[in-house]
């Protein structure tokens, strides 16, 4: 076995690791929250260029706000899946950071302590004039619709605190965390938006890296990712076993 890798494996077995999860819509699919691009995904019924774009919000504000009001309402009853819970449970033994593209609150409901939302949060609202102004970002009840004419604190139209197409994703802190990971795990993302295209390349090549998704995306990833070909919940059982019992799949690939 290569000396650097074997030294790394020894240390990963013995010490508290910093495990970084990078999640997408697939981690919430088993909680009944539809993904975007799968069969049955939201894009079958909603044109993303209208409902998920800044120009759509400007041109058809009522339709777009109602789309988000519906998604916000759906979160009230949504429960974390076994995958969200397994990620939170790993904090007993390891330092865990969740970098999520999701706008739902299921990682928080599951008990994860550090969750960075790269694409915003449906539980919050902000200003249409300056969506990143901290003074305008506020928690907002999920059962209270955002209507045309409702105002943010700066007097502009109130909008959901989400990143729409053609809007900038602020990811510098998350990138630093990904680069610093001891173990990096991707779950349930089609790797097709700029965030998910970039993040798989950030972790170091010599740390264990996994992707849990029923679809094989290894041709979109740097070499060395281990594909766990299942849904998120079953995949997290396999991943927990891997982390707890000495990174056997990683050893097999790199050994």
Residues annotated as part of the active site: 119
Contacts of 87 (CB under 8 A, 6+ apart): 21, 96, 98, 107, 110, 112, 236
Closest by alpha carbon to 157, among 61, 52, 20? 61
- Residue 104 as a binder of ligand NAD (CB under 6 A): the answer is yes
Whole-angstrom Cα distance, residue 107 to residue 100?
A: 9
Q: Which stretch binds ligand NAD (CB under 6 A): 8-16, 24-32, 53-61, 127-135?
A: 24-32
Size of the site for ligand NAD (CB under 6 A): 30
Stretch that binds ligand NAD, among 2-10, 21-29, 145-153, 177-185 (CB under 6 A): 21-29
CB of 25 to ligand NAD, least distance (A): 4
φ, ψ for residue 73, nearest 5 deg: -60, -40
Please give the residues from 189 up to 218 whose contact with ligand NAD meets the rule CB under 6 A. 189-190, 192-193, 196, 212-215
Which of 22-30, 57-65, 151-159, 174-182 is the region at the interface with ligand NAD (rule: CB under 6 A)?
A: 22-30
* Cα 130 from chain centre: 24
Single out the residue of 26, 80, 160, 200 in contact with ligand NAD (rule: CB under 6 A).
26
The residues in 226-255 that bind ligand NAD, with binding defined as CB under 6 A, are 231-232
Residue 212 and residue 11 in contact, taking contact as beta carbons nearer than 8 Å:
no
Considering only residues 13, 18, 37, 109, which one is a binding residue for ligand NAD as defined by CB under 6 A? 37
Output Rg (C-alpha) for the chain, integer angstroms.
19
Chain residues 38-77 in contact with ligand NAD, contact rule CB under 6 A: 38, 41-42
- 140 vs 98: CA distance, rounded Å: 23
Closest by CA position to 208, among listed 188, 185, 240: 185
The binder of ligand NAD chosen from 119, 124, 131, 209 (CB under 6 A):
119
User: Measured from the CB of residue 169, what is the shortest distance to ligand NAD in angstroms?
Assistant: 9
**Structure tokens given for 43:** 């894009």
CB of 160 to ligand NAD, least distance (A): 11
Closest CA to 105 of 80, 83, 73: 80
**Residues that bind ligand NAD in the complex, under the rule CB under 6 A:** 24-26, 28-30, 33, 35-38, 41-42, 101-104, 119, 188-190, 192-193, 196, 212-215, 231-232
């Amino acid at each position: 076995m290569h000396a650097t890798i074997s030294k790394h494996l020894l240390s990963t077995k013995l010490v508290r690791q910093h495990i970084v999860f990078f999640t997408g819509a697939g981690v919430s699919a088993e909680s009944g929250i539809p993904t975007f691009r799968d069969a049955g995904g939201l894009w079958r019924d909603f044109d993303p260029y209208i409902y998920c774009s800044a120009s759509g919000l400007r041109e058809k504000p009522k339709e777009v706000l109602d789309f988000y009001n519906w998604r916000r309402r759906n979160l009230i009853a949504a429960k974390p899946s076994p995958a969200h819970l397994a990620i939170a449970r790993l904090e007993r033994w390891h330092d865990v950071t969740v970098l999520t593209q999701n706008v739902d609150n299921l990682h928080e409901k599951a008990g994860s302590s550090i969750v960075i939302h790269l694409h915003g949060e449906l539980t919050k609202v902000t200003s249409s004039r300056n969506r990143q102004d901290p003074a305008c970002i506020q928690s907002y009840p999920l059962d209270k619709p955002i209507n045309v004419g409702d105002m943010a604190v700066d007097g502009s139209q109130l909008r959901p605190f989400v990143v729409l197409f053609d809007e900038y994703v602020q990811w510098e802190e998350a990138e630093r965390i990904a680069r610093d990971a001891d173990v990096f795990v991707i779950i349930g993302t089609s790797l097709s938006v700029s965030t998910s295209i970039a993040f798989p390349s950030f972790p170091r090549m010599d740390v264990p890296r996994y992707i849990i998704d029923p679809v094989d995306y290894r041709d979109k990833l740097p070499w060395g990712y281990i594909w766990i070909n299942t849904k998120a919940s079953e995949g997290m059982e396999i991943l927990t076993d891997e982390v707890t019992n000495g990174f056997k799949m990683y050893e097999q690939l790199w050994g």
